[in-house]
Structure 1
């Protein structure tokens, strides 16, 4: 009987240890979902494997049914003239916070997507994950000042990201993008 009790405690302990998560990342307060919708240019990031060598990355959000967000992520692969890649994941706003979403690229898998910061004018945002493995610094325009960019990078560092891992993304001006 004792062996079963010890075994049960060990199994329960290992299960709890395996299920632990990283320190949760800070969430933005009171995100207005309607104000958040629209185009966001990726200015800097810690890229996923599909975003490596992305040029002109753009994330577009549109309200879907209930707590769903229809997302379009597009970019040019390898250069400004490269093939335009487009992905359409679905965001699921979680009940506990408008800043906490689950993003689904492939059914049935969903990954954490947290709005960690958005300014009052909804012009700049930082999206992160508790694992600190991916990051997106985004703006409503394809270019921001170097000072503004460094301020956003500093915010990301305070969230627990490594400054050295954050890559500035290549973005062309809107005028050049519109002529293509």
Structure 2
């Protein structure tokens, strides 16, 4: 679990209402003293010209090595968060789904990945039965901040396959 903490960048996802229209999405996982995890999701809403942030709470369903958590962003309502593939060497990428496979995310420690890494993700997701016709490759390009011309974000362009 300790190696999973920190910042992850959303490389690709199946869209859903709570992230609709967001680009430059990242998630920060921080351990709390009680053993639960604070999850802070952040994304850029280009239509509004502003960043959106949501903070959630995650707890392990079984033991801390199971890769199955329940996460709540909306009060007492929890959703399943299942890590179905994780880079065991460097914890450089993770593939995430929900309990009923309505959700799918490809997370990486870096804002961009190689074509081979994307192909591996697509192959594994298809093998798990996911329909990738609506897969969104998340735009991770930099956003110019109105404050002194600074730049926030990273790189990559948004596209549908």
- With the length of structure 2 as denominator, give the TM-score of the two structures: 0.82
- Name the one with the larger helix percent: 1
For 2:108 and 2:144, locate their aligned partners in 1 and report how far apart those are by CA, in whole Å. Answer: 18
Find out whether 1:102 has 2:70 as its counterpart: yes
For the 8 Å contact 2:15–2:134, the answer to whether it is kept is no
Counterpart of 1:145? 114
Q: Deviations over 1:98-135 (max 9, x none)?
A: 30100011121111110111112100101102311111
Counterpart of 1:18? none
For 2:35 and 2:120, locate their aligned partners in 1 and report how far apart those are by CA, in whole Å. Answer: 31
For 1:140 and 1:51, locate their aligned partners in 2 and report how far apart those are by CA, in whole Å. Answer: 19
- Local SS of the residue matching 2:69: strand
Give the superposition deviation at 1:95. Answer: 2.0
2:56 alignment partner, one of 57, 80, 89: 89
For the 8 Å contact 1:113–1:128, the answer to whether it is kept is yes
1:134 alignment partner, one of 98, 103, 123: 103
- Local SS of the residue matching 1:117: strand
- With the length of structure 1 as denominator, give the TM-score of the two structures: 0.74
Task: Specify the structure having the higher radius of gyration (Cα).
Answer: 1
- Local SS of the residue matching 2:124: helix
Alignment RMSD, CA only?
2.0
For 1:176 and 1:139, locate their aligned partners in 2 and report how far apart those are by CA, in whole Å. Answer: 23
- Local SS of the residue matching 1:163: coil
Specify every segment of 5 or more residues in structure 2 that has no aligned partner in the other structure, as ranges.
Answer: 153-161
